[in-house]
């Protein structure tokens, strides 16, 4: 798996295809996708038009939360394969460690389990539809539980990682157990919020010293930890810069120490169904209320957000 890839989360419809093409033109050979991003068909069209041989590209996708029963897992994979225009995935991840009823949001399914989901994924590896399987947004306790029954060990845990949220203990745990870590939102969601890391003074100072972009500093920070990064961009020049510039310098121990002062545990992605260890009591109350509400709503309605 190439250490730098292109993330497609929040890439707008009609734009993601050109971003994929620009990325492949720049030499990127790692694409991170998901059924829930609702743009896999555009990624597939760009792949077909690129002319790049399939075997040269590492493609990741993710299984959404309401596809947990064996038949639904395989059907979801088949739909992703069709949309991407390929007959196998290099990596398929369980998107979140939760179990929902099919075509619902946050409605529990007592007849399904993450264990059975994983065992189904193992069979799909055996069938040749997937080369590697892994997880996303798993905490240490959830990884431990998975390892207790996995016949095929998880290859990857994809989690939010940037200097504001280094998650050092979880990273070290995964790497110590042979599980590669991939960082999503490695730029801290860019400049979309006032807390965006691209405008952080410490990051800016380090970038100025090396004559590189703040984005390259943020990507280099993760790369030096042995973490794969999948920054999202739709601008050809930035895509190329993200692929090339982080390899042109190395952060010193003093710079890493300065970057460590940015850590405040802030998350940019924390949906109500998350199981993060740093959830508050208020988070748990909101989740409980939404789960009860969802059970009522989806007893009479259905919703497939991956369409």
**Rounded CA separation 121/152 (Å):** 9
Cβ neighbours for 132, distance < 8 A, ≥ 6 positions apart: 90, 91, 92, 125, 155, 156
**Rounded CA separation 175/136 (Å):** 15
- Strands 89-94 and 58-63, by their bridges, are parallel
Helix (H, G, I), strand (E, B) or coil at 89: strand
Element (H, E) at 81: helix 70-84
Joined tokens for residue 144: 């431990």
- Write the secondary structure of 106-121 as one string of H (helix), E (strand) and C (coil): CCECCCCCHHHHHHHH
Closest CA to 21 of 60, 49, 56: 49
The DSSP code sequence of 137-189 is S--HHHHHHHHHH-SS---EEEEE-BTTB--HHHHHHHHHTT-EEEEESTTSS
Do residues 157 and 177 touch, judged by C-beta distance below 8 A? no
Element (H, E) at 92: strand 89-94
37 annotated active-site? yes
> Bridge-partner residues for 198, per DSSP?
none
Single out the catalytic residue among 37, 92, 138, 184.
37
**Catalytic residue positions, numbered:** 37
């Amino acid at each position: 798996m190439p250490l730098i890839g292109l993330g497609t989360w929040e890439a707008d419809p009609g734009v993601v295809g050109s971003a994929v093409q620009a990325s492949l033109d720049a030499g990127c050979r790692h694409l991170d996708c998901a059924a829930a991003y609702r743009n896999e068909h555009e990624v597939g069209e760009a792949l077909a038009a690129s002319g790049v041989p399939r075997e040269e590209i590492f493609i990741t996708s993710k299984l959404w939360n309401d596809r947990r029963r064996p038949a639904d897992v395989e059907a979801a994979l088949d739909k992703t394969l069709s949309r991407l225009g390929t007959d196998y995935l290099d990596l398929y991840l369980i998107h979140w460690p939760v179990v929902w009823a099919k075509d619902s949001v946050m409605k529990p399914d007592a007849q399904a389990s993450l264990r059975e989901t994983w065992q189904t994924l193992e069979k799909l590896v055996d069938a040749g539809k997937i080369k590697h399987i892994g997880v996303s947004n798993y905490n240490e306790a959830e990884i431990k539980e998975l390892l207790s029954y996995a016949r095929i060990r998880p290859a990857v845990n994809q989690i939010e990682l940037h200097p504001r949220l280094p998650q050092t203990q979880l990273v070290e745990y995964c790497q110590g157990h042979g599980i590669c870590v991939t960082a999503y939102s490695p730029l801290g969601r860019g400049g979309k919020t006032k807390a965006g890391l691209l405008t952080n003074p410490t990051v800016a100072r380090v970038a100025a010293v090396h004559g590189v972009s703040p984005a390259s500093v943020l990507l280099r920070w993760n790369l030096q930890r042995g973490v794969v990064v999948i920054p999202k961009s739709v601008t050809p020049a930035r895509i190329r810069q993200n692929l090339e510039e982080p390899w042109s310098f190395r952060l010193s121990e003093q710079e890493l120490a300065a970057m460590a002062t940015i850590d405040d545990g802030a998350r940019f992605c924390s949906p109500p169904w998350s199981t993060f260890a740093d959830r508050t009591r208020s988070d748990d109350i909101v989740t409980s209320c939404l789960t009860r509400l969802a059970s009522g709503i989806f007893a009479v309605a259905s919703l497939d957000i991956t369409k």
